[in-house]
Amino acid sequence: MKRTDKELRALCIKGDGNAQNELYRRYAPKLWGVCLRYAKNRMSAEDILQEGFIRIFTYLEKYKGDGSFEGWMRRTMVNTAINYYKKNLKTGLDMEYTEVFAAKSYEPDAISQISNEEVLALVQELPDGYRNVFNLYVMEGYSHKDIGKKMNISENTSKSQLSRARSLLQEKIHKLYGE
Amino acid sequence: MKEKDFDNIVRKKLEAINEAPPAYMWDRVASGMAAQSGVNTTSGLSATKKILLVAASIVFIVGLVAIFSNQNRTSKRHVSRPFKKSWHKKQLIKSHKRAYKHKVEPVASKSNLENPNTSFTHTPKNKQTINSPSKTATTTPIKNIVGVKTSKKQNAMVNNQKDEFPPLPSATEIRKAESVTSASANNQPTSNTKKEAKNFGTSYELAVVPPTPLSNSKTPKANTEKKQTATPYVKDVSSETQNTSTENKSIATSESTTEINQDTSTSVKQVEVIAGELPNDLAKTPNTEQETSQQQNPKSRIFNKYGIGIHYGPEFMDIDNYKLTDQALDLSFNYQNMNLIIQTGLGVRFSEDQATYDIKYKRWEYWKTQIRFDSASLYVDSNGDTIFQPANVYYEEIYDSLSHSYQATAKEHYTILQIPILLGYQIDYDKFAIFIKGGIRYSLIAYQQNDDLFIPDENSRITDYNYPIKTRAKSNIDYELALGGAYKINKHFQIQAEAFGRFYHYSIYEENPPSGIHPWSLSIRAGLIYIF
């Protein structure tokens, strides 16, 4: 008999390994996608998934039932991903040199031609800061104000990084399929 | 294409990715959970539980020590109790029985009535003679001598003797008894009994050993005569209580009490005085024996030694052909009871381990040189000839943040707390001692630090690094056996040197699933012990 999320949560809080495993199997595929988007490669995605689930199991009892459980897990995983890059970026400031592309308008046919995995690969190729801002804004729906707080950057920086991220993606897509 | 449209397309494509994580990821999560909560998946016990277990063990050891100490004190108290299974007790019982047997003789009844203390002198030296049927055949059963028969419980005997005293004698009987007592008091010991008395070392022996062997008296009549001969001396002992030992008192008390049960004509006053003195006397009596016993057998003395020590030494560990050398500093608490030694304490061990990191970093550096077109001049000749001047260009070096990666080896430093509980056996000589001890040791990583990872220069920054494949388990348990010796500098200080062999119950690295490799180690340590 399939146990409900609530039952699983209760068992996980008690430290039941089987329940933790069941919860992992139920949500890992969805959260794995989140990790892949925020990571620059699969290895980092694995690290984020591991840390994220550890945080989920550790702070499970803090989930009070407000909002969907899956949403809470997803937010936890996103926060883990952000922290992961904050931790590894020791300078705390992305000094990466990036050529600024002029905003151009491309035909939607180009992006429609590429596969989901290719889009993911292109997103992963984005610099860390751009990728995080892009994911937070486009995928999670955060406002630039919230992104600024999360990333410790200004609202304007968030906006400019999002714009650059879009430009980079479009440029890469255009290079691949535009011609 | 608008930005929102682009975002929507990208979002849909990214959300459409439905890929399962690698199968081994659950193991990583589980092991990470274990490390996070301090649980070694191979141990099955949380760190908290382990700490509680160790604390409980220490409490248990302390309790054990306390019990030992109490037992020692108890054993001393036991010695001081009369009628415990001891030589003294047996002698008391024997003499009591003897007195009882002699008192009930018909002839003695009369003579004892005249001189109640004669019963004291009838303790025969020859046991066989005493126990011979011919002597005991005439014994009349005496119901009131409960104390003799149930003398296993000394207090019961005393109480019974007190409780079962006969009713107070009549005034006539009292007067008669007083006259007898008065008459006896005037008797003087014979030269023969004085001579015999000199041959005995203690007042107790004076009281329980007759001046002449009973074997010399073949008949009850002769026996009575001997008693009468000895009477003056015994009376002298009894009357001069300030000069007699407590043993003398107790024997006299017991026997007199028994006699009273047989012949109600004995002085009631005397009985009351004796009954009042009995318990204290009995309690005092065996102290002499204990002291004597300890003097005669010093090895039977009880040792209660507490000590505190400090030890230092290296530990050489072998983990599947991988060598580690730790340094350990231990503070030990020692307890010794006879040959038993118990040791616990708190130690700190410093360990180092090599860890390899895959490090990715970016460096702001020269990438390429490009020709930058600056300007071009066009000159037009008024004659119609066009002169073209080449464009002005310059070379520009392009710098970029370039990715690099390398493998770095860094040292991990661990500070490990350890709590041993050891039980052992020690043989003491004059200046030296040798010992063997074994037990368990619980260790817990208290602090961990790695050397700074190599950063090429200030223009570089680490963007990613992978943790070492092997991480140390937070806690472990090992079983250890030690052989060593001690040199006693003086009463309080000892120098100890010992060699340990240890077998670790779990791998020192976190492994899931466990590899089954249990490290072992050898260590030597030396220290100074202060004995309180």
Q: Residues A11-61: pLDDT tens digits?
A: 888 888 888 888 898 889 889 999 999 998 888 888 899 989 988 988 888
Work out the average pLDDT over B75-88.
Answer: 45
Res. B391: pLDDT tops 90: no
Helix, strand, coil % over all residues of chain B, rounded to 5: 40, 35, 25
Chain A: give the shortest CA distance to residue B506, in Å: 21
Q: Which of these, B93, B136, B116, lies nearest to B261 by C-alpha position? A: B116
Q: What would the two tokens of residue A104 be?
A: 């151009």
Of B20, B364, B461, the CB nearest to A32: B20
Distance of CA A10 to the CA centre of its chain: 27
Task: Work out the mean pLDDT of chain B and round it to a whole number.
Answer: 65
Query: Residue A99 has what pLDDT?
Result: 40
**Helix extents (H) in B186-308:** 191-198, 203-208, 220-239, 246-262, 268-296
Q: Does B171 touch chain A (CB under 8 A)?
A: no
Whether pLDDT at B295 is above 90: no
Q: Which of B5, B17, B29 sits opposite A54 (nearest CB)?
A: B29
Closest CA to B184 of B117, B245, B126, B139: B117
Q: State whether residue B13 sits within 8 Å of chain A by CB.
A: yes
Q: Are A49 and B29 spatial neighbours (Cβ–Cβ below 8 Å)?
A: yes
Candidate from B10, B401, B464 with C-beta closest to A119: B10
A96 contacts B17? CB cut-off 8 A: no
Residue B448 C-alpha, separation from nearest chain A C-alpha, in angstroms = 18
pLDDT over 60 (residue B476): yes
| Alpha-carbon torsion (A143, A144, A145, A150), positive or negative | positive
At residue B500, the pLDDT reads: 93
Cβ contact (<8 Å) for A97 and B400? Answer: yes
Tokens 């939607």 -> residue: A108
Q: Is pLDDT above 50 for B232?
A: no
Distance CA B441, CA B140 (A): 70
Residue of A25, A49, A166 with shortest CB distance to B6: A166
Testing the interface with A: which of B2, B6, B37, B402 to mutate, by most A Cβ within 10 A? Answer: B6
What number of other Cβ atoms are within 10 A of residue B284's Cβ? 16
Q: Give yes or no for B461 touching A (CB within 8 A).
A: yes
Q: Are A141 and B40 in contact (CB under 8 A)?
A: no
| Residue position matching structure tokens 């007592």 | B181
| Residue B50 parent element (H or E) | helix B47-80
Cα–Cα distance measured from residue B122 to residue B104, given in angstroms and rounded to the nearest whole number: 12
C-alpha B54: how far from chain center: 15
Q: How far apart (Å, rounded) are the C-alpha atoms in residues A168 and B313?
A: 61
Say which residue, B308 or A107, is predicted with more confidence: B308
CA B346 to chain centre: 16
Query: What is the C-alpha separation between B68 and B63, in angstroms, rounded?
Result: 9
Q: Quick one: closest CA in B to A26, which residue?
A: B20
Confidence of residue B208 (pLDDT cuts 50, 70, 90): very low
Q: From the CB of residue B182, how many other CB atoms can be counted at a distance below 10 Å? A: 9
C-alpha to C-alpha distance for B337 and A156, rounded to whole angstroms: 78
Residue (of B163, B123, B154, B521) closest to B349 by Cα position: B521
B37 CB neighbours in chain A (<8 A) are 58
Which residues of chain B make contact with A44, given a CB cutoff of 8 A? 464
What ipTM describes this predicted complex?
Answer: 0.86
- Out of B155-169, B242-256, B487-501, which region has the weakest mean confidence (pLDDT)? B242-256
- Looking from the CA of A98 toward its CB, the CA atoms found within 13 Å total 21
Confidence class for position B39, pLDDT limits 50, 70, 90? very low
Question: In sequence order, which residues have a C-beta less than 8 Å from that of residue B384 and are 6 or more positions away?
Answer: none
Helix/strand/coil percentages in chain A, nearest 5: 75, 0, 25
Would you call B461 and A33 a contact, using CB atoms and an 8 Å cutoff?
Answer: no
Distance from CA of B38 to the nearest CA of A (A): 12
Contacts of B401 in chain A (CB under 8 A): 95-97
- Note the pTM of the prediction, 2 decimals: 0.35
Confidence of residue B190 (pLDDT cuts 50, 70, 90): very low
A65 Cα to chain B: minimum distance (Å): 23
CB nearest B9 (choices: A25, A28, A111): A111
Question: Given the structure tokens 């050397």, which residue do they identify?
Answer: B451
Neighbour tally for B372: CB within 10 Å: 11
d(CA B409, CA B396): 38
pLDDT at position A84: 85
Q: Token pair for residue A60?
A: 């499970």
The predicted model gives B337-361 an average pLDDT of 84
Percent of chain B with pLDDT over 70: 43
- The mean per-residue pLDDT over the stretch B217-232 comes to 43
Cβ atoms within 10 Å of B138's Cβ, excluding its own: 12
User: Which residue, chain included where needed, has tokens 């204990």?
Assistant: B290
Contacts of A126 in chain B (CB under 8 A): none
Q: B368: how many CB neighbours lie within 10 A of its CB? A: 9
What is the mean predicted confidence (pLDDT) over B227-232? 42
pLDDT at residue B529 in the model: 92
Beta-carbon separation of B21 and A21 below 8 A: no
User: Looking at the predicted structure, is the pLDDT value of residue A93 above 70?
Assistant: no
